[in-house]
Amino acid sequence: MKNSLRQAMAWLHTWAGLLSGWLLFVIFVGGTIACFDRELDDWMRPTLHDLAGPQPTRFDAAFDILERHAPEAHVWWAHVSSARKRGVEAFWFNDDGSEGAVLLDPRDGAVLPATAGGQFFFRLHYDLHAGLWGMYAVGLLGMMMLVALVAGVITHKKIFKDFFMLRWRGGGQRAWLDGHNLAGVLGLPFHVMIAYTGVAIFAASYIVGGTQAAYGGDTEAFFADAGGFFEREETNTPLASRHSVDALVADAERRMGAPVDWASIHHPADGSALIAFGTDHSRRVAWDMQQVQYDAATGAFVHQSAPATAGYTTYAFLGGLHMAQFGGAALRWLYFVLGLAGCVMLATGMQVWVRKRAQRCAAAGLVSGHGLVRALNVGVVAGMPLACAAMLLANRLLPAALEDRAKAEIVTFCAVWAAAALWGALRDRVGRGWRDLFLATAVAMAAVPVVNVATAPHSHLGATLVRGEWALAAVDLVAIAFALGFALLARAAYRRGAAVPADRAQRSSEAGRAGDPA
pLDDT attached to residue 204: 79
The whole-number pLDDT of residue 505 equals: 42
What was the pLDDT predicted at 9? 67
- pLDDT on residue 19: 73
Distance CA 507, CA 204 (A): 60
Supply the pLDDT for residue 54.
Answer: 75
| CA distance readout (Å), 503 to 365, 496, 500, 515 | 22, 10, 5, 18
CA 305 to chain centre: 31
d(CA 180, CA 341): 9
pTM reported for the whole predicted model: 0.87
The amino acid present at 111, given as its one-letter code, is V
| pLDDT for position 516 | 43
pLDDT of residue 510: 41
pLDDT at 150: 83
pLDDT by residue for the chain (518 residues), tens only, comes to 455 766 666 656 666 667 788 999 999 999 999 999 999 999 999 988 887 767 788 999 999 999 999 998 999 999 998 888 888 999 999 988 788 999 898 888 888 888 998 899 999 999 999 988 999 999 999 998 888 888 877 776 666 665 555 555 545 556 666 777 777 778 889 999 999 999 998 887 887 777 777 887 777 777 777 767 788 888 889 998 999 999 999 999 999 999 999 999 999 999 999 999 999 888 889 888 889 999 999 999 999 988 878 888 898 999 999 999 898 999 999 999 999 999 998 888 888 777 776 655 555 454 456 777 888 889 999 999 999 999 999 999 999 888 889 999 999 999 999 999 999 999 988 889 999 999 999 999 999 999 999 999 889 999 999 999 999 999 999 999 999 999 999 998 887 765 544 444 444 444 344 444 33
Interatomic CA distance for residues 155 and 88, integer angstroms: 50
pLDDT at residue number 158: 65
User: Helix 405-428 crosses helix 433-455 at what angle (to 10 degrees)?
Assistant: 150
Res 508: pLDDT: 42
- Rounded CA-CA distance 76/62 in Å is 10
Angstrom distances, CA of residue 339 to CA of 139, 193, 195, 431:
18, 12, 11, 28
Tell me 308's DSSP state: P
